Amino acid sequence: MNEREFADIVGRTKKAVLSAVEKNLASRFYHSIDDVVQETYIRAYSSLTKGKFRGQSSINTWLYSIARNESLRMNEKLLREERKEKKLIDADDLTVNYEDDSIALLQENILKLPEKYGAVLSLVSLGYSLNQISEKLGLNTGTVKSRISRGKKILHDNMKGGKDAGL
C-alpha cells in the first residue's frame, strides 16, 4: 500500500470515522478527537500493510469499528487520568494552613524529609509542573505524584508532631 492509496482511503472514510468517534467518545473528552482519529488510522494502516483486513465488511464498517474501539480506549484512559488527578487534589487537602511567617519553617522541614520526597516537594514549591519535575528528576509522572502525596503526608505529620513523622 502506498501513500496515495492510503490517503484515498482516509478521504473516503473520514465521515464514518468521525461519526464513530462522536458517538462513542464522551463529550467531555472531545478535546481528544484528533488523537482518537490519528490512532484509528495508524492502526488501520498497520493492519492494511500486514494484510490483516480480510474484506468481510466494507472498509467504512471496518474503520468505524476501529474508531469505536479507539474512542472507548480513550474514554478509559482519560477516566483513569481524572481519577489519579482527583486523588492528587484530595492529597492536597492534607496541607496545613500555614501563617506567612511559617514559610521558613516549612522550607526547613522540607529539607528534613527523605531526599526522594524533599526533592520533589522543593520543585513543587518553586512552581514546577508534574511534567517538568518528571523530566528534571528522570522519574515517571506517576512516581512524582506519589512522592508528592507521600511527602506532603510526612511533612504534615512532621509539622504537627505526628507519630508517623519521618517515615
Segment 72-122, tens digit of pLDDT: 999 999 888 888 877 776 665 555 444 555 666 777 788 788 888 888 888
CATH of the domain at 110: 1.10.10.10
Domain co-membership, 99 together with 63 = no
Q: Which range of residues forms the domain containing residue 111? A: 94-160
The answer to whether residue 167 is domain-embedded is no
Report pLDDT for 48. Answer: 93
CA 128-150-132 angle, to 5 degrees, is 20
Report pLDDT for 164. Answer: 46
The answer to whether residue 165 is domain-embedded is no
pLDDT: which is higher, 70 or 124: 70
- Count of structural domains, the chain: 2
Q: Which residues contact 106 (CB under 8 A, 6 or more apart)?
A: 98, 125, 155, 159
Report pLDDT for 91. Answer: 64
Q: Poorest-confidence range of 5-9, 46-50, 123-127, 150-154? A: 123-127
Domain co-membership, 32 together with 73 = yes
The answer to whether residue 118 is domain-embedded is yes
The answer to whether residue 66 is domain-embedded is yes
The answer to whether residue 135 is domain-embedded is yes
Question: pTM score, two decimals?
Answer: 0.54
CA–CA dist 132, 136 (Å, integer):
6
Q: Which residues contact 114 (CB under 8 A, 6 or more apart)?
A: 154, 166
Report pLDDT for 93. Answer: 56
Type of residue at 92:
D
- With 0-12 / 13-18 / 19 or more C-beta atoms within 10 angstroms meaning exposed / middle / buried, residue 151 is buried
The answer to whether residue 166 is domain-embedded is no
CATH of the domain at 35: 1.10.1740.10
Domain co-membership, 59 together with 130 = no
Report pLDDT for 165. Answer: 45
Segment 4-62, tens digit of pLDDT: 999 999 999 999 999 999 999 998 888 999 999 999 999 999 999 999 998 899 999 99
Report pLDDT for 166. Answer: 47
Report pLDDT for 94. Answer: 53
